[in-house]
């Protein structure tokens, strides 16, 4: 079983280039189902989840070619109505194919999705929105079947600003008859990036303060699009520098996408400077504690909560982190405590009492971001930390061991 061996205690320093955003690449791949024309996507990260998304659209009749960071998705045969269950069951984002298939074919069958075990993440919001647009839903124990002669525009109020549901409904509405209004939508940068791609494909979309209006068209065409940088990867490497007392620059980023994250770092008294497409973080001797609440964008991102908690475990005093997005985000805390952290979880709140040092341990990654947090803890710990289940980390981070070594870390990947 592959794992990482991390010799802690090395100060990280230098520059690291950030890949395209996984959470923008996944819906962009799915958007290829909305047209028979070729879609050319640049800055597509080399990740397990992206590979799964590309296999999913391939199983539906698309021909996928990749050269470096560029992916071309073109028509190979008739569009299929049932994606390969092997891929959908691996990743939640594969469920997004349901609406585009329904809009193109009038019917679709999709297995219920899998993914990280960080919470319930029900698909009810997706299905309720599709039903409002005229879909007839038949739910089985392990799959969902939808039918609609022609989808029509609708007024949809999301009970929660779900990223997946917002993406799903925007894509579906581009081919529905009339206007769809999605109220209380998610506002993450990845949503904006998807809209940018769809506009290039000929969609008619207008973003308002608290709603997204989509006027359906009969047909979308091909396009060429460059994915935004991954703000979550950028935040993780900045925290890696902070935890090791180093100075790390992330290059190829959009600093505005990290505003809430940088606001929290500023509260801990860390110093940083932002350029047009870079951020440099300079560590403080012993950062101060903070109180953080995760929330939909523009709030603090839940995907940067585990790396932040790892960082706060070495800060001065007592910090509090409230998780208000996913109820099982703290599954990694016992592993951090085995490394010497002092963290207590009560319900949706973690109380972190800063310690002066962490110690190496053998740990396993529960999910993508929790695994990143354990790697960061290993970088700062005394001795050699072993991190198992790194295939989960690789769903969201490409070449993490190589990038950390480029910053001076002693990290070895062992088969």
pLDDT, tens only, 62-108: 999 999 999 999 999 899 988 888 877 777 677 899 999 999 999 99
Q: Do the strands 271-274 and 3-7 form a parallel or antiparallel pair, or are they unpaired?
A: unpaired
User: pLDDT above 70 covers what percent of the chain?
Assistant: 97
Both 154 and 233 in a single domain? no
Full DSSP string of 348-412 = TEEEEE--S--B--EEE-SSHHHHHHHHHHHHHSBSEEEEE-HHHHTTT-SSHHHHHHHTT-EEE
Look up the domain containing 371 and give its range: 3-18+229-414
pLDDT at 115: 43
Written as one string, the DSSP assignment of 28-60 is HHHHGGG-SS-EEEES----HHHHHHHHHHHTT
What is the layout of strands, in order, in the sheet containing 107-111? 107-111, 143-147, 136-139
Give the whole-angstrom CA distance, residue 36 versus residue 219: 9
Residues 169 and 299 in one domain: no
What mean pLDDT do residues 138-147 have? 82
The more confident residue out of 385 and 86 is 385
Does 250 lie in the same domain as 117?
no
Contact 283, 241 (CB under 8 A): yes
Asked which of 19-28, 70-79, 138-147, 283-292 is least confident by mean pLDDT, the reply is 138-147
Q: Are 189 and 228 in contact (CB under 8 A)?
A: yes
Structure confidence at residue 116 (pLDDT)? 41
What's the chain's average pLDDT? 94
Res. 389: pLDDT tops 80: yes
Name the domain boundary from 203, 226, 249: 226
Residue 215 pLDDT > 90, yes or no?
yes
Together in a domain, 91 and 219 = yes
| Residue that finishes a domain, picked among 202, 226, 250 | 226
Domain boundary among 209, 226, 243: 226
Query: Once rounded to an integer, what is the mean pLDDT over residues 4-30?
Result: 97
Q: Which of 87, 68, 79 is nearest to 26 (CA)?
A: 87
At 139 the pLDDT is 75
189, 286: one domain = no
What mean pLDDT comes out for the span 4-29?
97
Which pLDDT belongs to residue 286? 83
Residue 234 contacts by C-beta under 8 Å, 6 or more apart in sequence? 18, 250, 253, 258, 279
Q: Which helix (H) or strand (E) holds 264?
A: helix 259-267
**Contact between 1 and 26 (Cβ < 8 Å):** no
Q: If you average pLDDT over residues 169-180, what whole number do you get?
A: 98
One domain, residues 210 and 273: no
pLDDT band at 144 (very low <50, low <70, confident <90, very high): confident
Reply yes or no on whether the pLDDT at 117 is more than 70.
no
Rounded mean pLDDT of 13-33?
Answer: 98
What is residue 332's predicted lDDT score, i.e. its pLDDT?
Answer: 96
How far from chain centre, in Å, is Cα 339? Answer: 27
Domain match, 205 and 284 both: no
pLDDT at res. 142: 77
**What pLDDT is stored for residue 113 in this prediction?**
65
Q: Based on the number of CB atoms within 10 Å of its own CB, is 321 exposed (0-12), middle (13-18) or buried (19 or more)? A: buried
Catalytic positions, please? 116
Question: 99: number of CA atoms within 13 Å, CB side?
Answer: 31
Least confident of 50-54, 79-83, 235-239, 410-414: 79-83
Query: Phi-psi region for residue 88, left (φ > 0), alpha (ψ -120 to 50) or beta?
Result: alpha
Using the predicted structure, report yes or no on whether residue 327 has a pLDDT greater than 80: no
Residue 376 — very low, low, confident or very high, per pLDDT cuts 50/70/90? Answer: very high
CA distance 166 to 312: 32
The pLDDT value recorded for residue 92 is 67
Q: What is the pLDDT of residue 95?
A: 85
Least confident range of 119-123, 265-269, 292-296, 313-317 = 119-123
The answer on 248 and 166 residing in a single domain is: no
Report the C-alpha gap between 144 and 129 in whole angstroms. Answer: 14
pLDDT at 119: 39
Q: Would the pLDDT of 60 be above 60?
A: yes
Looking at residue 261, which CATH number applies to its domain? 3.65.10.10
Phi, psi dihedral angles at 344 (to 5 degrees): -115, 135
Q: How many domains does the chain have?
A: 2
d(CA 329, CA 366) in angstroms, rounded, equals 10
- Dist CA 237 CA 17 (whole Å): 10
Q: Are residues 40 and 12 in the same domain?
A: no
Closest CA to 348 of 366, 363, 369, 333: 333
Instruction: Enter the DSSP assignment of 276.
Output: S
Task: Indicate whether 70 and 178 sit together in one domain.
Answer: yes
70-75 and 62-67 beta bridge pairing? antiparallel
Statement: residue 179 has pLDDT above 90: yes
Has residue 318 got a pLDDT over 70?
A: yes
- Residue 94's pLDDT is 78
Does residue 411 surpass a pLDDT of 80? yes
**Which SS3 state, helix, strand or coil, does residue 98 take?**
helix
Residues 234 and 222 in one domain: no
Task: Give the rounded percent of residues in the chain with a pLDDT score beyond 90.
Answer: 87
Q: What would the mean pLDDT of 116-129 be, rounded to a whole number?
A: 67
Q: Do 202 and 283 fall into the same domain? A: no
């Amino acid at each position: 079983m592959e794992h990482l061996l991390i010799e802690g205690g090395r100060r990280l320093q230098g520059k690291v280039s950030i890949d395209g955003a996984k959470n923008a690449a996944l819906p962009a791949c799915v958007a290829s189902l909305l047209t028979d024309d070729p879609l050319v996507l640049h800055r597509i990260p080399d990740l397990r989840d992206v590979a799964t998304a590309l296999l999913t659209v391939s199983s539906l009749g698309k021909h996928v070619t990749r050269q470096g960071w560029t992916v071309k998705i073109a028509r190979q045969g008739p569009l299929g109505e049932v994606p390969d269950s092997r891929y959908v069951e691996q990743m939640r984002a594969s469920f997004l194919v349901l609406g585009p298939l329904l809009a193109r074919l009038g019917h679709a069958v999709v297995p219920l999705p899998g993914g990280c075990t960080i919470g319930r993440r029900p698909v009810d919001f997706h299905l309720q929105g599709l039903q409002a647009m005229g879909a007839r839903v038949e739910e089985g124990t392990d799959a969902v079947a939808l039918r609609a002669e022609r989808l029509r525009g609708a007024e949809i109020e999301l009970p929660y600003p779900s990223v997946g549901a917002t993406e799903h409904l925007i894509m579906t509405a581009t081919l529905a008859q009339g206007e769809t209004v999605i109220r209380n939508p998610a506002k993450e940068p990845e949503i904006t990036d998807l809209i940018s791609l769809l506009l290039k494909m000929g969609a008619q979309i207008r973003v308002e303060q608290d709603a997204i209006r989509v006027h359906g068209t009969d047909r979308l065409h091909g396009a060429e699009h460059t994915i935004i940088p991954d703000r979550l990867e950028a935040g993780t490497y900045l925290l890696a520098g902070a935890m090791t007392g180093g100075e790390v620059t992330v290059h190829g980023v959009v600093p505005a996408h990290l505003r809430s994250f940088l606001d929290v770092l500023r509260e801990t008294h860390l110093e940083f400077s932002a350029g047009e497409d870079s951020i440099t973080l300079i560590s403080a001797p012993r950062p101060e504690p903070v109180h953080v609440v995760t929330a939909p964008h523009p709030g603090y991102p839940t995907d940067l909560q585990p790396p932040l908690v790892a960082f706060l475990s070495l800060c001065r005093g007592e910090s509090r982190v409230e998780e208000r997005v996913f109820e099982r985000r703290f599954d990694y805390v016992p592993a951090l405590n085995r490394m010497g952290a002092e963290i207590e979880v009560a319900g949706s709140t973690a109380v972190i009492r800063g310690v002066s040092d962490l110690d190496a341990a053998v740990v396993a990654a529960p999910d993508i971001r929790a695994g990143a947090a354990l790697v960061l803890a290993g970088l700062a710990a005394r001795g050699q930390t072993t991190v198992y289940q790194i295939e989960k980390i690789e769903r969201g981070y490409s070449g993490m061991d190589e990038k950390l070594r480029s910053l001076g870390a002693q990290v070895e990947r062992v088969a």
